[in-house]
């Protein structure tokens, strides 16, 4: 019996319509989970190797690298928290998105175009949970629950559209539970989803969670070779900063070595309840007694502070690593793993004693470079290591292209989708532009802009001082000697200046524009 042609055609058209409707509803489009920690140095992720990898492993974060791509040259546009977050939302440099600094900064303009709004318009369920740090309420999200400002490690407040409330527990664990709860609802919605999961940890003052309090207390970590850097062969910016472990890092507020308990009342530790405080004291009181009995000074005091810093900082990261493991396990158990892109990154890099510093801001490698790991089952080749120059400004374009959403022409980054598929375009960037604005302010790092290639960095400290620096990362990987006035680099310097001028023109930036942003 021959099939009825009209009936067959109608069935085919119905199937096509159902397929198109399914695509419109987003059932086949990938889910996206963007996990971002605060101040997580790539040196503190064992997938990146380095001196800490065997002493402070991050096995769950490493799973993302093992199942996907580890980017070894992801550079930020402005190495400080709020501005990096604004760049990731907008795909635009700070001078265009309007969020240049953490201090003395108007709240982020949430009315402007952001990638969550574009995904939301395209049918995605969107959520933002954790540290926001942009002053205004989130926009473009179906659900949001954020920490106020920097947030607290213990018994933190959260803000929703209904107001503020306090929850008992450790912030990393609470954010994890909230994200998994939202994912559980999102998976049944029939829509693809995009979750921004933003941890507070390991931000200063590095308060370890109850399950990690003793994790590293008996470990001695190797010192970086530049821990006692004297900043010779460099300029005024390095000599006049205020972010050294020796002078800036505080024994009480940072390392929690309180002799006078009344001083805790203005810190996050005043949020601990009696049982939490008893557990805290059982660990810290012996450390406090031993330290003050030792009467350390000079280099030995710096060495002690460095060890305490890393013990607390890495313990905070251990909780983040557990969190990542819980999310990855949930995705696998729920079957969502097969169609979910997982990204792990930090807002920017961080110093773990290199150049004697903690914090970020400078265009030197440890703060300029941020970790970036991406896994997309069936697309990313497991265990790939990529050395292309990518940037946090590329993330929103990448998220949009993953979702099949057109990337707006006014975004300034570039989708990494071809790289995720293993094919770096021949015209991919060969240099990267940077601009830092926050001075005077915390840590007193002078304003500067510059550009980096795979080998060289050209930096200009403008307005506050007028000094140029040039570093050859191949000959000087620790960035210890400014070669700007060395005659042997004259030809290289001239080329780098031309490339920097082209980058500033490309991105619509200039010294004159930067001066117009100076705080009153």
For position 16, what pLDDT does the model report?
35
CA neighbor of 233 nearest in space, from 481, 466, 465, 473: 481
State mean pLDDT over 198-219.
97
pLDDT of residue 286: 96
Q: Tokens 């293993």, residue?
A: 422
* Predicted confidence band of residue 510 (pLDDT cuts 50, 70, 90): very high
Asked if residue 23 has pLDDT above 90, the reply is no
* CB contact burial 82-103 (16+ within 10 A = b; e otherwise): bbbbbbbbbbbbbbbbbbbbbe
**Confidence label for 5 from pLDDT (cuts 50, 70 and 90):** very low
Portion of the chain with pLDDT greater than 90, in percent: 90
Q: Is the pLDDT score of 14 beyond 50? A: no
CATH code for residues 30-208+313-430: 3.40.720.10
- Residue 260: the pLDDT is 87
What average pLDDT does this structure show over 361-370? 98
Read off the tokens for 296.
């350390």
Tens of pLDDT, residues 374-430: 999 999 999 999 999 999 999 999 999 999 999 999 999 999 999 999 999 999 999
The count of other CB atoms within 10 Å of the CB of residue 252 is 15
CATH class of the domain whose range is 435-516 = alpha beta
Over residues 334-355, the pLDDT tens digits come to: 999 999 999 999 999 999 999 9
Domains in the chain: boundaries: 30-208+313-430, 247-305, 435-516
pTM: 0.93
| Token pair recorded at residue 317 | 């990261």
Cα distances from 471 to residues 367, 480, 483, in angstroms, run 15, 8, 6
What confidence tens digit (pLDDT) does each residue in 96-111 have? 999 999 998 999 999 9
Predicted confidence at residue 264, as pLDDT, reads 84
- From the list 221, 170, 215, the residue with the least C-alpha distance to 44 is 221
How confident is the model over 138-166, as pLDDT tens digits? 999 999 999 999 999 999 999 999 999 99
pLDDT digits (tens, 9 = 90+) for 453-472: 999 999 999 988 999 999 99
């Amino acid at each position: 019996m021959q099939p009825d042609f009209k009936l067959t055609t109608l069935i085919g058209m119905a199937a096509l319509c159902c397929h198109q409707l399914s695509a419109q509803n987003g059932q086949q489009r990938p889910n996206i989970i963007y996990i971002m920690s605060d101040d997580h140095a790539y040196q503190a992720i064992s997938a990146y190797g380095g001196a800490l990898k065997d002493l402070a492993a991050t096995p769950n974060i490493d799973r993302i690298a093992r199942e996907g791509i580890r980017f070894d040259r992801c550079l930020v546009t402005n190495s400080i928290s709020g501005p990096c977050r604004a760049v990731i939302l907008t795909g635009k440099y700070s001078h265009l998105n309007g969020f240049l600094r953490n201090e003395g900064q108007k709240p982020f303009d949430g009315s402007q175009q952001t990638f969550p709004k574009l995904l939301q318009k395209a049918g995605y369920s969107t959520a933002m949970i954790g540290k926001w740090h942009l002053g205004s309420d989130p926009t473009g999200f179906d659900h949001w629950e954020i920490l106020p400002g920097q947030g607290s490690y213990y018994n933190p407040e959260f803000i929703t559209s209904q107001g503020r409330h306090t929850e008992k527990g450790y912030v990393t664990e609470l954010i994890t539970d909230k994200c998994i709860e939202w994912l559980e609802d999102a998976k049944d919605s029939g829509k693809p989803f995009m979750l921004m999961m933003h941890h507070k940890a390991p931000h200063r003052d590095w308060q370890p969670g109850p399950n990690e309090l003793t994790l590293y207390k008996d470990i001695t970590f190797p010192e970086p070779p530049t821990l006692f850097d004297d900043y010779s062969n460099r300029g005024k910016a390095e000599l006049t900063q205020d972010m050294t472990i020796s002078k800036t890092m505080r024994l009480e507020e940072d390392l929690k070595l309180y002799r006078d308990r009344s001083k805790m009342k203005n810190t996050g530790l005043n949020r601990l309840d009696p049982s939490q405080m008893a557990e805290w004291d059982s660990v810290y009181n012996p450390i406090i007694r031993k330290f003050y009995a030792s009467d350390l000074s000079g280099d030995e005091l710096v060495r002690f502070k460095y060890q305490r810093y890393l013990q607390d900082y890495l313990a905070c990261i251990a909780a983040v690593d557990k969190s990542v493991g819980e999310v990855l396990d949930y995705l696998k158990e729920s079957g969502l793993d097969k169609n979910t892109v997982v990204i792990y990154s930090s807002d920017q890099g961080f110093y773990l004693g290199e150049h004697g510093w903690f914090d970020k801001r400078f265009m030197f490698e440890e703060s300029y470079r941020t970790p970036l790991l991406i896994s997309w089952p069936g697309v990313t080749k497991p265990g790939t290591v990529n050395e292309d120059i990518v940037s946090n400004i590329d993330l929103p374009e990448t998220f949009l292209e993953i979702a099949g959403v057109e990337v707006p022409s006014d975004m300034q980054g570039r989708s990494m989708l071809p790289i995720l598929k293993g094919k770096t375009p021949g015209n991919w960037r060969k240099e990267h532009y940077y601009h830092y604005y926050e001075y005077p302010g915390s840590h007193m790092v002078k304003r500067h802009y510059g550009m980096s290639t795979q080998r060289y960095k050209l930096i200009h400290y403008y307005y506050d001082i007028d000094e140029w620096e040039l570093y050859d990362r191949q000959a000087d990987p620790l960035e210890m000697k400014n070669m700007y006035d060395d005659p042997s680099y004259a030809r290289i310097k001239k080329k780098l200046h031309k490339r920097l001028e082209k980058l500033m023109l490309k991105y619509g930036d200039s010294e004159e524009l930067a001066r117009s942003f100076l705080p009153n």
